[in-house]
Chain A
Amino acid sequence: GIQVEQSPPDLILQEGANSTLRCNFSDSVNNLQWFHQNPWGQLINLFYIPSGTKQNGRLSATTVATERYSLLYISSSQTTDSGVYFCAVGGGADGLTFGKGTHLIIQP
């Protein structure tokens, strides 16, 4: 099956810093989503981005499908950004294959 690798596995930053999270995948996909899992375990949709670039406030994402990677950018980090960020990929309505996540800690 498809492989999804996320990096870095852990990231500790000061409030106000910027960060880039990376997701590499091993095969072509037509579904790629970024999620934020908050401390209560809820998976929050950040982006549905099988290709191209999207922005939502301080967050933006870029997927280069031909090179099989996606990047999530977080600018001006806040403590509420802490949590685990997951990249997940799939083929259409197939189940998603998740990476192991990036554990982000934003210190005040």
Chain B
Amino acid sequence: EAGVVQSPRYKIIEKKQPVAFWCNPISGHNTLYWYRQNLGQGPELLIRYENEEAVDDSQLPKDRFSAERLKGVDSTLKIQPAELGDSAVYLCASVPGGGYEQYFGPGTRLTVT
């Protein structure tokens, strides 16, 4: 069974530029999460989806971050415009229906210069 797929794996952009990250969860997993991991810290939740509905986006900085999960499968996280402090690893995770154990993708390492 394929795991959670994320792309790109690495991204370097200049500040004020837009950037987007893509996540394909494990097949059949209805719940999808985006986390941000700063250097030396544990991941922190940004947003949680149940199918195509964002059920918890309280930690998403809505002035510059947006996310979507069309058709309840793939998801995209966007930052516009990026700031230096957005440099981090962005992780996607998914959970099967009826379960709680989260499975993480390899992450996208973003560097904003």
A residues sitting closer than 8 Å to B (CB atoms) are 4, 30-31, 33, 35, 40-43, 45, 48, 50, 86, 88, 90, 92-101
Return the chain B residue nearest A32 by Cβ: B100
Q: How far is the CB of A37 from chain B (nearest CB, A)?
A: 9
Interface positions of B (Cβ within 8 A of A): 31, 33, 35, 40-45, 48, 50, 56, 59, 89, 91, 95, 100-104, 106-107, 109
With A88-B42, A95-B35, A95-B48 known to touch, is A43 a contact of B91 (CB < 8 Å)? yes
Q: Which residues of A contact B45 (CB under 8 A)?
A: 95-97
Q: List 5 A-B contacts (CB under 8 A).
A: A35-B104, A41-B106, A45-B104, A95-B48, A98-B41
Interchain CB contact under 8 A, A93 and B103? no
Q: Which of B41, B50, B104, B109 contacts A43 (CB 8 A)?
A: B104
Point out the residues of chain A lying under 8 angstroms from B35, CB to CB: 95-96
Q: Which residue of A lies closest to B107 (CB)?
A: A41
